[in-house]
Amino acid sequence: MVVNMRRIVLIALIAAGSLLSLGSNELPPWRAVPEEVPVDVPFQVEADFSFSWDKIFGYVITYPLKITIRNKSNESITILWDECSLVTPYGVSERIIHKGVRFEDKAAPQAPTLIAPQSWLDEVVWPAERIEWIVDEWIKWPIPVDDGSRIRLHLTWRTQEGRQRSASWSWRISGPKTVTVFLYVYSPQGQVISDAKVECKEAAGNTFRDTTGANGFVIIQGAAGTWQFTVSGSGYRANSWSQEITKTGEQKVYLERQGTPLGLWIIPLWLLVFLGLVGAVFALGF
């Protein structure tokens, strides 16, 4: 169901001409802090996480997840990739594929990888279900995270003696608190305004731009702190303001209608004066 929902969201974005758009601004520091490190295993695992900001999912871990496996023992080990998984912050265990596996073959069995004694292996892994062919390209779905999220890598290997063993490494995600704002745009009479343009810079400096739909609202996700908003609409005065956003919730903004410019009234006044003079002339019999 999660995959199907992701597919629906992406197809809708493609139809609208707006693919998943990652922010290009510099992110505040995000870190993956090792939390669970097995001590009775013959190798070490190091992970290099890439973080970004996505206007749909908020802060995310992006493809690829780079790992280094260091065999500290004097015996070879064999990684059994089909028995390995990544546990996402939502507690879902997802089968992974590794470097060298073609995306077209992501559902096929994976060959094990031998790591010689006292050697290391650089790898790239990602959940197989998060790689999908949609429209005309392979999409690598990101993994949404929040401050305090945990992600766990479960590896299974075979020893030189042929015994199968497993262990898990976990990391706690450390970063700024994220919040979601449901911004509604109204006219002075309380009617929702569709096609209003919304621009927002959240506390981390990432800029969000979107247009309200028929229900008159947009959804914005970003770092808690001071946000800057600008909302405008055809026939309405633009409204700009700054606001402290510390928790998820609704925000409402009312736009004033633009008054008729003074210049547009001057011509009718002159026309009325002219017509009045003409009428007076005819009344006097000229």
CA–CA distance, 250 with 231 (Å, rounded to integer): 15
Of the listed ranges 59-68, 190-199, 259-268, the least confidently predicted one is: 259-268
As a whole number, mean pLDDT of residues 151-157 equals 98
Residues 6+ apart with CB under 8 A from 284: none
pLDDT value for 206:
86
Burial class (CB within 10 angstroms; exposed 0-12, middle 13-18, buried 19+) of 76:
middle
CA–CA distance, 180 with 43 (Å, rounded to integer): 41
Confidence band, pLDDT 50/70/90 cuts, at residue 15: very low
pLDDT value for 19:
40
As a whole number, mean pLDDT of residues 101-106 equals 97
pLDDT value for 57:
78
Look-up: residue for tokens 């890598």? 153
State yes or no: pLDDT of 286 exceeds 70.
no
Looking at every residue in the chain, the average pLDDT score rounds to: 86
Confidence band, pLDDT 50/70/90 cuts, at residue 273: low
As a whole number, mean pLDDT of residues 194-213 equals 92
Of the listed ranges 12-21, 98-107, 119-128, 144-153, the least confidently predicted one is: 12-21
Q: Which domains does the chain have, with CATH numbers?
A: 22-174 (2.60.40), 178-254 (2.60.40.1120)
pLDDT value for 34:
96
pLDDT value for 22:
38
pLDDT digits (tens, 9 = 90+) for 24-69: 344 557 899 999 999 999 999 999 999 987 767 778 999 999 999 9
As a whole number, mean pLDDT of residues 75-96 equals 97
State yes or no: pLDDT of 224 exceeds 50.
yes
Q: Pick the residue with more confidence: 130 or 178? A: 130
pLDDT value for 272:
63
As a whole number, mean pLDDT of residues 181-207 equals 93
pLDDT value for 204:
84
pLDDT value for 146:
85
- pTM of the predicted model, to two decimals? 0.66
State yes or no: pLDDT of 87 exceeds 70.
yes
pLDDT cut 70: percent of the chain above it:
80
As a whole number, mean pLDDT of residues 250-268 equals 73
3-state secondary structure the chain: CHHHHHHHHHHHHHHCCCCCCECCCCCCCCEEEEEECCCCCCEEEEEEEEEEEECCCEEEEEEEEEEEEEECCCCCEEECHHHCEEECCCCCEEEEEECCCCHHHCCCCCCCEEECCCCEEEEEEEEHHHEEEECCEEEECCEECCCCCEEEEEEEEECCCCCEEEEEEEEEEECCCEEEEEEEEECCCCCECCCCEEEEECCCCCEEEEECCCCCEEEEEEECEEEEEEEECCCECCEEEEEEECCCEEEEEECCECCCCHHHHHHHHHHHHHHHHHHHHHHCCC
